[in-house]
Amino acid sequence: MPFRPPSLRGVTPQGRGRYPGYDVLDELKRQDDVTTGMILARLSPNDQLVFFTAAEQAVATPLVDQILGQDGEPKVPVLPMIDARLASGETDGYVYEGMPDDAEAWRRSLAALDADARERFGRGFGELDWADQGDLVAAVQQTEGAWHDLPASRVWSLWTRYACAEFYAHPWAWNEIGFGGPAYPRGYKSTGIDKRENWEVADAAPTDPVTAGQRIEQARAEHERNTRVRPGRQGPPEGNDPPVQGQDS
């Protein structure tokens, strides 16, 4: 493993992590040459995109940042890895009914997202600020049924499957979650609850992120229910209708 200055050790996306001092790359000395080469290649993917056009890249880059919450540096270079998959035809091996193949679905959905941005804000998606981009992405996630002649739930699945697969294939994401990388040929010997290998680091914030995420999602859904306006009318939220004149309040 080449020498790395302290600034390049234990890197995590946006500098966030729960395993202080942990660096999965320290374990490369225990890996074989093929595995080491595969992991190191993910640190510097080819940024000369082959599949996406420049216009599509301007939409796709902030889109995957929104999905992954990458609101600052350092960022995992997800889009070049997605681009390489699509350029080589490396898909998940299936297509949902009502969806085109993944390559066409990416092109159509990126064009649709950019069209939404221009219709709503008068600018392309890549020109919007973080909050406005987030609103548009959330709108797709929350759409039931069709969105620009594509099933919205399947578009959301497409985006998140590709983005998350490439994000969590990257060593910086492994540092963030304390993952040890490929088990072969090193292996594991300390099995059991709360047991760690000698190279593992204790979780500095042992809280359940799923529970916290569920609370956030429940609060968001409750807020939407309380602020939703009935179709065809303007006025207070449902459940808070003003009294009709002459009716007891």
pTM exceeding the 0.85 threshold for the entire prediction: no
- Residue tagged 């399947």 (tokens): 154
Whether residue 184 is contained in a domain is answered as no
Whether residue 236 is contained in a domain is answered as no
Query: What tokens appear for 40 in the block?
Result: 């190191």
Whether residue 213 is contained in a domain is answered as no
Average pLDDT, the chain: 87
Query: What tokens appear for 8 in the block?
Result: 């390049």
Whether residue 35 is contained in a domain is answered as no
Instruction: Return d(Cα 150, Cα 148) in angstroms, integer.
Output: 5
Whether residue 241 is contained in a domain is answered as no
pLDDT tens string 127-166: 999 999 999 999 999 999 999 999 999 999 999 999 999 9
Q: 172, 12 in Cβ contact below 8 A?
A: yes
pLDDT tens string 78-105: 999 999 999 999 999 999 999 999 999 9
Number of structural domains in the chain: 1
Over residues 166-195, mean pLDDT: 89
Residue 151: the pLDDT is: 98
Sign of CA dihedral 166, 171, 175, 181: positive
Q: 77, 47 in Cβ contact below 8 A?
A: yes
Whether residue 21 is contained in a domain is answered as no
Whether residue 190 is contained in a domain is answered as no
Whether residue 97 is contained in a domain is answered as yes
Kindly state the percentage of the chain with pLDDT values over 90.
62
Better pLDDT: 45 or 130: 130
Over residues 212-221, mean pLDDT: 77
Indicate if the pLDDT at residue 2 is higher than 80.
no
Class of residue 58 by CB neighbours under 10 A (exposed 0-12, middle 13-18, buried 19+): middle
Residue 195: the pLDDT is: 86
Indicate if the pLDDT at residue 222 is higher than 50.
yes
Hey, which residues does 150 pair with through a beta bridge? 147
For residue 131, the enclosing domain spans 54-167
